[in-house]
């Protein structure tokens, strides 16, 4: 890959809390893969940091943005000793066409999950305390000079939360159009539901015009129930070679316990609120009521 102007990455398109970290790790454990171990929204939004949301369009990807993002991927791979990058920033679920305008050669994996489980998981994440240790990998690779505006906002957000001793988040995950009003006017469960449904609808819309040989849809439930078979399917699609490390990781780390947890975590009243928001995409994706 050294010196290449065509990084040929693998980009996971997934709404938040759909298992994208697990999928990224499994893909990364194939021969010749390099993993960016954290979301890099600050890279993808290099020249669009003043945009109010993550739903960027092809028109937002100017020459400077394309150059910057592609060079970031290439430099990252070189620092890791060479290879093909796999990346999974969840904001990309709102802007597949934008991503494709930067990496037309990329292979895309569309990861989907039962929206009810996503709502239950995202609800917990919105209320999670600050995790300072998770910032360190981002700090090490953050393009400080070129993304100084984003860095200032990001640092200010975390410092403000720390000073106010806030436990929950004012905003978390993909910033879909209208999220600020929804946070103000809806219950948090409804915000989580709309976040998932908006991301899934946007991804599906944009993927309809992508050549089928360039993208593959994977269900989270298949990934955890039939992990080796699903990983082998991914390897064939991506022309990758499996490794013992991959199969060892799957044996030690992949569990099915998170499937269907919404039954224990969502009350009937909460389900009644979120299902009207979830059902259109749930139905299209084939998830039972």
Q: What's the CATH number where 178 sits?
A: 3.40.50.300
Beta-carbon contacts of 139 under 8 Å, excluding residues fewer than 6 positions away, are none
> Is residue 70 pLDDT above 80, yes or no?
yes
**Average pLDDT over every residue of 65-85:** 93
Establish if 2 belongs to a structural domain.
Answer: no
**Cβ contact 191:179 at 8 Å:** yes
Grade residue 270 by pLDDT with cuts at 50, 70 and 90.
very high
Establish if 5 belongs to a structural domain.
Answer: no
Establish if 4 belongs to a structural domain.
Answer: no
pTM: 0.88
pLDDT digits (tens, 9 = 90+) for 84-120: 999 999 999 999 999 999 999 999 999 999 999 999 9
- The per-residue pLDDT for 147 is 53
**Average pLDDT over every residue of 57-66:** 95
Give 248: exposed, middle or buried? Use CB within 10 Å, 0-12, 13-18, 19+.
exposed
Establish if 245 belongs to a structural domain.
Answer: yes
> Is residue 4 pLDDT above 50, yes or no?
no
**Average pLDDT over every residue of 69-76:** 94
> For residues 31 and 158, what is the distance between their CA atoms, to the nearest angstrom?
37
Establish if 239 belongs to a structural domain.
Answer: yes
**Average pLDDT over every residue of 49-77:** 93
| Range name among 110-124, 167-181, 228-242, 249-263 with the lowest pLDDT average | 167-181
> Is residue 163 pLDDT above 80, yes or no?
no
- The per-residue pLDDT for 1 is 40
**Cβ contact 88:23 at 8 Å:** yes
Higher pLDDT, 84 or 144: 84
- The per-residue pLDDT for 174 is 97
Establish if 231 belongs to a structural domain.
Answer: yes
Establish if 264 belongs to a structural domain.
Answer: yes
- What is the span of the domain harbouring residue 191? 10-285
Task: Identify the three-state secondary structure at position 74.
Answer: helix
> For residues 289 and 116, what is the distance between their CA atoms, to the nearest angstrom?
10
> Is residue 161 pLDDT above 90, yes or no?
no
- The per-residue pLDDT for 47 is 85
* Token pair belonging to 160: 């403000």
Domain count, the chain: 1
Establish if 92 belongs to a structural domain.
Answer: yes
Beta-carbon contacts of 102 under 8 Å, excluding residues fewer than 6 positions away, are 61, 65, 66, 69, 70
Nearest Cα to 188, choosing from 278, 270, 258?
270
- The per-residue pLDDT for 127 is 86
């Amino acid at each position: 890959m050294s010196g290449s102007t065509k990084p040929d990455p693998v980009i996971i398109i997934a709404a938040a809390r759909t298992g994208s970290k697990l999928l990224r790790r499994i893909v990364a454990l194939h021969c010749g893969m390099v993993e960016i171990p954290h979301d890099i929204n600050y890279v993808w939004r290099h020249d669009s940091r003043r945009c109010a949301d993550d739903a960027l369009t092809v028109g937002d990807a100017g020459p400077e943005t394309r150059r910057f993002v592609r060079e970031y991927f290439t430099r990252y791979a070189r620092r890791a000793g060479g290879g093909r990058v796999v990346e999974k920033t969840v904001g990309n679920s709102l802007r597949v066409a934008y991503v494709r305008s930067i990496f037309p050669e990329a292979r895309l994996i569309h990861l989907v999950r039962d929206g009810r489980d996503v709502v239950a998981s995202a609800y917990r994440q919105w209320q999670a305390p600050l995790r300072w240790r998770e910032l360190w990998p981002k700090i090490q690779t953050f393009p400080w000079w070129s993304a100084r505006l984003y860095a200032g906002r990001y640092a200010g957000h975390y410092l403000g939360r720390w000073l106010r001793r806030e436990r929950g988040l004012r905003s978390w995950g993909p910033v879909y159009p209208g999220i600020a009003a929804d946070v103000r006017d809806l219950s948090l469960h409804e915000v989580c539901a709309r976040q998932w449904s908006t991301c899934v609808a946007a991804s599906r819309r944009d993927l309809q015009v992508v050549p089928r040989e360039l993208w593959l849809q994977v269900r989270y439930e298949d990934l955890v129930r039939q992990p080796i078979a699903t990983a082998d399917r991914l390897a064939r699609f991506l022309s990758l070679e499996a490794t013992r490390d991959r199969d060892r990781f799957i044996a030690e780390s992949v569990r099915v316990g998170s499937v269907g947890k919404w039954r224990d975590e969502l009350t009937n009243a909460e389900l009644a609120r979120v299902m009207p928001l979830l059902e259109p995409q749930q139905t299209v994706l084939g998830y039972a009521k």
